[in-house]
Chain A
Amino acid sequence: MNTFLNLPLAGAVYEDIPLGHFLTLSLAMFALGSIGVLIRKNPVIVFMCIELMLNAVNLSFLAFAAYPNSHVQANNAFESAMAGQAMVIVVMAIAAAEVAVGLGIIMAIFRYRNNVDVDDMNTMRG
């Protein structure tokens, strides 16, 4: 049960590329996304950065699913790999739902002030 539609699934060892490379790339994407969230001022760009972070997470899930895990027994490898890949599908679906709500909120604000700079979001002070 190592292939599904001829795609490598669990236990397919990629000898050329070690797991660490995927994880490093994922960490770099996640860090870039976080920095973007903290320094950008346009909420749409901020949200794009959050999407980048989610995609970094998806990459880690897929990388972990494709490499054998020492805690997973051989006859459980299929379920283990499917868990990670199912998570990716769920994350993408939820990210799409978040986009719908988020853009709706940004539009609602734009209607009042023609300016959605997050630095101007300071009507509430304590």
Chain B
Amino acid sequence: MIQIPTIDWGVLMPTIIVFVTGIIGLLVEMFRPKQNNNLIVGLSLAGLTAAFVLLLGQLGAEPTTTIANMVFRDQLAVLLQLVMLGATALCFLFSEGYLRQRRIAFGEFYPLALWSLGGAMIMVGTQNLLMLFVGLEVLSIALYCLSGMARGDQRSEESALKYFLLGAFASAFLLYGIAFIYGASGTLDLEGFKIALYATDSTFVMAVFAIALMLVGLGFKAALVPFHQWTPDVYQGAPTNVTAFMSIISKVAAMGALIRVLTAADALQNFWFPALTGIAIATMTVGNLVALVQKDVKRALGYSSVAHAGYLLVGILAHLKMPVEIPLASVIFYFVTYTAMTIGAFAMISITAKDGKEGTRTQDLNGMWRKAPYAAGVLFICLVSLIGVPPTGGFFGKLAIFNDALAAGLPVLAITLAINSVISTFYYWQIAKAAFVDDEPALQTDFAHLNPGLKLTGAICVIGVLGIAFMASPLINSGSTAGRDTMSVIQLEPDVQDTPAIAVPIPTEVNQEVR
């Protein structure tokens, strides 16, 4: 009756490498306590590189599923995992210098971040709601610990408590949604849920309720308005390297899961599409308007990340409206640019931490141009890209999403996006201006010395932000199949296949055309 499922180790290996590297890092910390963390950083970067290379090899591979449909690999999963691996490596490069300046150089940061990354990789690489929930919790629980890592800093502890309580609250909603999906379809598999939705509408109300609850849970993780209240506090209170890490990983994973759940629920599009349109408009507008009055750079960037979640949601909605005509390429392109510019900005702000003190108010950046011109230059380029000024990746990303929204017949979303880009100019400009003036010498901070890791992070981010427009074509080509084959490959159970009443529109012909 119960068969041992076949395991495709190639699919699992990147995730396994990430987890095992974390375990080895913790063992190293255990055997070499109270010493510097360079060995752990090196090991972690080696592990991340190995996983990255393995995943690169799977970039064009056929979608496949393994361990009894628990793990699912398609183009979307591979691309999102690559983005997250790259983001983590960038964070690790500048973390050690920052943590030493803050006097919180605990070796546990690296294993916890790696496990959090592993959870996120599980989350985007599955069609099973049990796995999705486990991945989300592995991601979140490690992040709760990380945001409270600065144990001497009351704000860090406070942000950890807020993140923890609200995060657990949101997971309960997500879980209740999963329970109702299970009740509506009798399975935890999203493919089975999709089939059940098309088969009959007797469990229709339950499914609508389930999707609404899941939107609350995933919207919290992705920081969509009105579930964004935790974002500014946690971004401000957590150590800057953790903020940079979570602004990418948490968002990418939640958006990936959102794409999968909504793709499975496309029979209910009449219900969730208007709701998500409203959420997208609110997310962009509230994020940008509230950011205008912020006095703290990390807090302003927190609201900016809320706004960017809104831009991403516009791209995702355009894809979900026309899954075949509009691929997810522009969303993935935006993820890559968002990673480069956000991590670049946070990494440069991290130099305000020196000798155990850190000031991240806007005026604390005064004089940065004179004392640390390299950091000020990188920060400026990243902020310009966050605004979306033409030669940078941020502009091309926003343009691609804008075009997608117009092509999908969503002019309201496209116009809101354009207006919000203009609004966002003002607060990014305030931050950039603070770094380039020194009118209040009394307030001037001593900036930390720029270590090679930080310089490397800055260089990679600038290259990413400026060069992505030229490097984008292979990405867009490979991204053009992402999302199209998301739902078409899971093998149907034999007995389900025999049932004639079920007609699921699976765009297999389209896939063949593309290849």
Interface of A toward B, CB cutoff 8 Å: 1, 23, 30, 33-34, 37, 43, 46-47, 50, 53-54, 56-57, 60-61, 64, 69-73, 75-76, 78, 80, 83-84, 86-87, 90-91, 94, 97-98, 101-102, 104-106, 108-109, 112-113, 116, 118, 121, 123-124, 126
Contact = CB atoms under 8 A, between A and B. Distances in A.
Interface stretch (B39-47, B183-191, B240-248): B183-191
Contacts, number: 149
A66 B192 CA distance: 19
B176 interface: yes
A80 B195 CA distance: 15
A78 B1 contact: yes
B158 A57 contact: no
B269 interface: no
A109 B175 CA distance: 28
B246 to A, nearest CB: 15
A121 B162 contact: yes
A109 B303 CA distance: 26
B188 to A, nearest CB: 5
The 3 closest A-B pairs by CB, nearest first: A69-B186, A72-B186, A53-B172
A124 B299 contact: yes
A76 B493 contact: yes
Contacts of A34: 169
Interface stretch (B133-141, B319-327, B430-438, B478-486): B133-141
Given A33-B172, A50-B165, 18 more contacts: A30-B176, A34-B169, A57-B172, A57-B175, A61-B182, A71-B184, A75-B495, A76-B495, A84-B188, A98-B168, A101-B141, A101-B164, A102-B165, A102-B168, A113-B154, A124-B236, A126-B232, A126-B303
Contact of B496 (A73, A91, A109, A123): A73
A113 to B, nearest CB: 7
A35 B185 CA distance: 29
Contact of B183 (A60, A98, A112): A60
B26 to A, nearest CB: 16
A1 B1 contact: yes
Nearest to A68: B186
Contacts of A37: 165, 169
Given A80-B186, A126-B293, A46 B165 contact: yes
Contacts of B159: 124
Nearest to B236: A124
A91 to B, nearest CB: 6
A70 B200 contact: yes
Contacts of A87: 130, 133, 178-179, 182, 188
B266 interface: no
10 contacts: A53-B176, A54-B175, A61-B182, A71-B195, A71-B199, A84-B188, A87-B133, A106-B161, A113-B154, A123-B158
B111 to A, nearest CB: 15
B157 interface: yes
Contacts of B164: 98, 101-102, 105
A67 to B, nearest CB: 9
Nearest to A88: B179
Contact of B134 (A54, A61, A90): A90
